[in-house]
Amino acid sequence: MNTFKALNIPSGNAICYSGFRDGQYPGGDHPSIEQIKEDLLLLEGQWKYLRLYDCNLHSKRVLEVIRENNMDFQVMLGAYIEAEMNNFECPWGGGVYPEEQLEINKVYNDRQIETLCAWAKKYEDIVFSVSIGNEACVNWTDHYVSVERVVALANKTKNRIRQLVTFCDNYIPWIHKLKPLGDVLDVVSIHTYPVWEYKNIHESLEYTKQNYDAVMSVYPDKPVIITEAGWATNSNGRGINPEHVNEDNQKTYIEALMNWTQKENILTFIFEAFDENWKGSPEPLEPEKHWGLYRADRSPKKVVEALQSNMNILTNQY
């Protein structure tokens, strides 16, 4: 399925954007208007679609910068919903909370959805779709929410805005667990990370194709897009084999992924634009810190030059 045609949007390259720099983090200092503008000027022209994760000050500033500078971006705006249930399967032990915190989170989640809808209306010319959550139903998450609750949030959102409504999660729960949710959404959005599943670079693209095809077989009449796929460039050995991650392998995987998804007309958000050193553990080689196509200081990795030289920019085409 040509997902661009199915979604009635122009073809184009897509990337996940979170602009937190060194010393900044969600809940703390946020990127300034000037820093966000600097980032978007780096991305403009090569990337048409941006994915934002949360209805926070960062996302609000991104939308303002795009509008005020008449930048050529369309945005998938996300609401980040917090845990409403304990998840004792979370491998790092972060999925267990006091009952009073879970109740607070439910109120917070409702407010996130209210803000999501309000911003979607305010920035209707920029926001082409919304996501009502991120990795909240997969079995390893630390912010677990029941499928039934996400279905309710999906219906609530669809009744309030005109944009496409989706939910972003790992490909595995989409195959069985999330079927009731997939049936009510406009779009199914999957994440695929071969390197997290111990695949080497030679196995990587074929594994991503298998992930995508497995979900497509469950939703043959619904657009299935990829909202996260990428390759880390460092690892401390926890969860990712250090031998599998470096800038050369990132370049190889991203180029192959984009060649395939452009050929098949699958909207695919590369994860991610910039390294974010606030993520994960304090260890410098923590994998979560090293997925960007640019380093945290905004210097480009090898893949950037390759994409700028070779990538077919798809704009205003079907």
> What's the pLDDT score for residue 314?
38
Tokens in use for 216?
A: 């497509």
Indicate whether 127 pLDDT > 70.
Answer: yes
Tokens in use for 317?
A: 């085409």
CATH architecture type of domain 11-310: Alpha-Beta Barrel (3.20)
> pLDDT per residue over 275-300, tens digit each?
999 999 999 999 999 999 999 999 99
Q: What percent of the chain has pLDDT over 90?
A: 95
**Which residues make Cβ contacts (< 8 Å) with residue 172, sequence separation at least 6?**
138
What's the CA gap between 60 and 76, in Å, rounded?
13
> What's the pLDDT score for residue 60?
98
Triad 206, 207, 213: Cα angle to 5°: 90
pLDDT band at 310 (very low <50, low <70, confident <90, very high): low
Q: What are phi and psi of 108, to 5 degrees?
A: -60, -45
DSSP per-residue letters across 129-171: EEEEEES-SSTT-SS---HHHHHHHHHHHHTT-SSEEEEEEEH
> pLDDT per residue over 141-172, tens digit each?
999 999 999 999 999 999 999 999 999 999 99
What is the residue-averaged pLDDT of the chain? 96
For 203-239, what is the HEC assignment? HHHHHHHHHHHHHHCCCCCCCEEEEEECCCCCCCCCC
Identify the CA nearest to 189 among candidates 26, 49, 86.
Answer: 49
What's the CA gap between 40 and 259, in Å, rounded?
23
Q: What is the mean pLDDT of residues 190-215?
A: 98
**Which residues make Cβ contacts (< 8 Å) with residue 198, sequence separation at least 6?**
241, 244
Residue spans of the domains in the chain: they are 11-310
> What's the pLDDT score for residue 308?
85
Indicate whether 185 pLDDT > 60.
Answer: yes
Q: What is the mean pLDDT of residues 88-104?
A: 95
Rg (CA), the chain: 18
> What's the pLDDT score for residue 75?
98
- Tell me whether strands 49-52 and 74-78 are parallel, antiparallel or unpaired: parallel
For residue 277, the number of C-alpha atoms closer than 13 Å in the C-beta half-sphere is 11
Indicate whether 267 pLDDT > 90.
Answer: yes
> What's the pLDDT score for residue 312?
44
Tokens 């991120």 identify what position? Answer: 134
Give the helix/strand (H/E) hosting 175. Answer: helix 171-175
Which comes out higher in pLDDT, residue 259 or 305? Answer: 259
> What's the pLDDT score for residue 120?
98
> What's the pLDDT score for residue 135?
98
> pLDDT per residue over 11-70, tens digit each?
999 999 999 999 999 999 999 999 999 999 999 999 999 999 999 999 999 999 999 999
> What's the pLDDT score for residue 55?
97
* Cβ neighbours of 85 (radius 10 Å): 14
**Which residues make Cβ contacts (< 8 Å) with residue 242, sequence separation at least 6?**
234, 235, 236, 285
Indicate whether 311 pLDDT > 80.
Answer: no
Indicate whether 107 pLDDT > 60.
Answer: yes
pLDDT band at 251 (very low <50, low <70, confident <90, very high): very high
For 128-132, 210-214, 255-259, 312-316, which range has the lowest pLDDT when averaged over its residues?
A: 312-316
Q: What percent of the chain has pLDDT over 70?
A: 97
